């Protein structure tokens, strides 16, 4: 069964479908490389003809600039009730990310232009899909590579020119000196004193999250481990947003001189300056490749005028926004790599959240055909009681005192709650709280998976841990996995 949401838009940023209103006061964030993962958007591409068509359009433009086979075989239509899948999504994405049974040697890694253009294509497909649902941004912000997608969304550059520049930019990065990029769960000011010569702050994402890049980050990672600072190596081939890219940035600036940029039709917050974009020129894109991503400042700029941020494609900006712009509500449209949810379910959940913010989306399927959760009885302590002053009433039993961090139903739930509190900096969680709603992200998610393995003494895949994003669901899924393994 296909997901259908109105006529296919022509290009990026089409008019609203009949009966739909723009997402008033909302803005969108386009993430960069590192948010992509194996099998991303597989079942969404299978379910939506519009999404597939957008991917094909970008793939054809990529072919025209010498990058054939970006999507060798897009998935065919799949049943709505099919389970989540990691297969059949982006072509060669397992190879592109250098993941699999064993990590590929640097020499065996494919061109990074394939990975960059794949993510660019997926992001534009999400923009087209949301536009067909009547969701149009009031402002846009991009992160790293995502700024090229953002510039396309705001109409400052054509899709064809953007594909050409993204491909050339990736080729220049590929030819730059080898380096490393590390994501760190700590602020730039805290991390800066720990940097070796050659290491730089590549991105300031929030007061408690930054990225470091340089030639060799091995000793730096050891210092982080010694201090108990959560971190993850994003790439051991390239040092993004580092002076190692100086020559590449100079060449890119010369290429950008040949591109015609127009005035943005939608405001765009710059991760280069941290303020609203005034103009795109060669100097801007040179600084964009080599300089620190000032995403924390860009979020603060958005929050001055807007209250809602929609994540376009894979990624989770909520943890950064929670600290950098706490008044900015966030909505994600795609699942993380280790979640067991279906892409289409996460997308429809995003539309539901937009509806809660006052937007009336064009739903992908008729309401009568959408799955509904069965109603669940309220706990006794939440049952409403009437009071008639004209008659006597039995005493109302007091609610049991809360036990922190959680009044859990099992030892495993209790331990999970404690891990959540430690990772997310919370004093209390509820069994039905969602990890990503409380500020969890891919970095903390991977750390949680490692802690679960340490606690259970067993290898528990990420898809099992995150089959549900709640404490209750995680405990049930992990317990089933452990029980099945002992039979």
**pLDDT at position 51, please?**
92
**pLDDT at position 50, please?**
93
Q: Cis link prior to 405 (omega < 30° from 0)? A: yes
**pLDDT at position 72, please?**
59
Say whether pLDDT at 150 is over 60. yes
221: Cα separation from own chain's centroid = 24
Minimum mean pLDDT range among 260-264, 281-285, 467-471: 467-471
Distances from the Cα of 370 to the Cα of 45, 248, 363, angstroms: 19, 49, 10
**pLDDT at position 292, please?**
97
The pTM of the full predicted model, rounded to 2 decimals, is 0.72
**pLDDT at position 24, please?**
46
Beta bridge partners of 24: none
Of all residues in the chain, what percent carry a pLDDT higher than 90? 37
**pLDDT at position 241, please?**
95
* Nearest residue to 114 via CA among 156, 175, 174, 74: 174
Of all residues in the chain, what percent carry a pLDDT higher than 70? 73
Contact status, residue 237 vs residue 178, Cβ threshold 8 Å:
yes
Say whether pLDDT at 78 is over 90. no
Task: DSSP letter for 107, please.
Answer: G
Q: Tell me the per-residue pLDDT of 189-205, one tens digit each, with 9 for 90 and over.
A: 999 999 988 899 999 99
Q: What is the mean pLDDT of residues 337-355?
A: 82
Q: Tell me the per-residue pLDDT of 419-454, one tens digit each, with 9 for 90 and over.
A: 888 777 677 788 877 777 676 766 677 778 888 888
Q: What is the mean pLDDT of residues 106-114?
A: 64
DSSP string of 441-471, one letter each residue: -HHHHHHHHHHHHHHHSS---HHHHBSSSBH
**pLDDT at position 194, please?**
94
Q: What is the mean pLDDT of residues 148-168?
A: 96
Q: Of the segments 17-21, 37-41, 170-174, 453-457, which one has the largest average pLDDT value?
A: 170-174
**pLDDT at position 89, please?**
36
In angstroms, the CA 349 to CA 206 distance is 26
Contact status, residue 163 vs residue 151, Cβ threshold 8 Å:
no
**pLDDT at position 270, please?**
96
Contact status, residue 64 vs residue 99, Cβ threshold 8 Å:
no
| Residue with the larger pLDDT of the pair 385 and 417 | 417
In angstroms, the CA 409 to CA 336 distance is 27
Q: How confident is the model at residue 481 (pLDDT cuts 50, 70, 90)?
A: confident
């Amino acid at each position: 069964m296909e997901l259908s949401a109105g006529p296919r838009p022509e290009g990026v940023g089409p008019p609203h479908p009949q009966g739909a209103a723009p997402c008033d006061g909302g803005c969108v964030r386009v993430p960069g490389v590192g948010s992509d993962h194996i099998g991303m958007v597989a079942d969404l591409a299978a379910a939506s003809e519009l999404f597939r068509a957008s991917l094909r359009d970008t793939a054809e433009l990529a072919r025209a600039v010498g990058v054939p086979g970006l999507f060798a075989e897009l998935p065919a239509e799949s049943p709505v009730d099919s389970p989540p899948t990691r297969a059949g999504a982006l072509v060669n994405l397992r190879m592109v990310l250098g993941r699999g049974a064993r990590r590929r040697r640097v020499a065996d890694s494919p061109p990074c232009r394939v990975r960059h253009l794949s993510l660019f294509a997926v992001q534009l497909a999400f923009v087209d899909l949301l536009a067909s649902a009547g969701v149009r941004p009031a402002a846009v912000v991009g992160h790293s590579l995502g700024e090229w997608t953002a510039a396309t969304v705001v109409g400052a550059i054509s899709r064809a020119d953007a594909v050409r520049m993204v491909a050339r930019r990736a080729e220049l990065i590929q030819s730059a000196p080898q380096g490393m990029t590390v994501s760190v769960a700590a602020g730039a000011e805290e991390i800066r004193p720990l940097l070796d010569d050659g290491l730089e702050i590549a991105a300031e994402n929030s007061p408690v999250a930054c990225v470091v890049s340089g030639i060799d980050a091995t000793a730096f990672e050891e210092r982080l481990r010694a201090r108990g600072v959560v971190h993850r190596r994003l790439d051991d081939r390239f040092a993004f947003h580092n002076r190692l890219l100086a020559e590449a940035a100079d060449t890119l600036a010369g290429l950008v001189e040949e591109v015609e940029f127009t005035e943005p039709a939608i405001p765009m917050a710059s991760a280069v300056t941290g303020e609203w974009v005034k103009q795109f020129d060669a100097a801007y894109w040179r600084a964009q490749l080599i300089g620190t991503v000032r995403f924390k400042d860009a979020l603060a700029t958005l929050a001055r005028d807007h209250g809602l941020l929609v994540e376009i494609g894979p990624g989770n900006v909520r943890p950064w926004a929670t600290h950098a712009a706490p008044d900015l509500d966030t909505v994600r449209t795609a699942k993380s790599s280790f979640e067991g949810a279906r892409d289409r379910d996460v997308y429809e959940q995003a539309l539901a959240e937009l509806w809660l913010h006052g937007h009336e989306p064009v739903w992908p399927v008729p309401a009568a055909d959408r799955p509904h959760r069965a109603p669940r009885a309220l706990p006794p302590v939440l049952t409403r009681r009437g009071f008639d002053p004209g008659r006597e009433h039995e005493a109302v039993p007091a609610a049991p005192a809360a036990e922190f961090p959680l009044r859990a139903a099992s030892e495993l739930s209790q331990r999970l709650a404690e891990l959540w509190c430690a990772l997310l900096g919370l004093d209390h969680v509820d069994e039905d709280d969602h990890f990503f709603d409380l500020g969890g992200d891919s970095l903390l998610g991977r750390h949680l998976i490692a802690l679960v393995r340490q606690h259970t003494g067993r290898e528990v895949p990420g898809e099992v841990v995150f089959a549900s994003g709640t404490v209750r669901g995680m405990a049930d899924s992990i317990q089933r996995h452990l029980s099945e393994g002992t039979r």
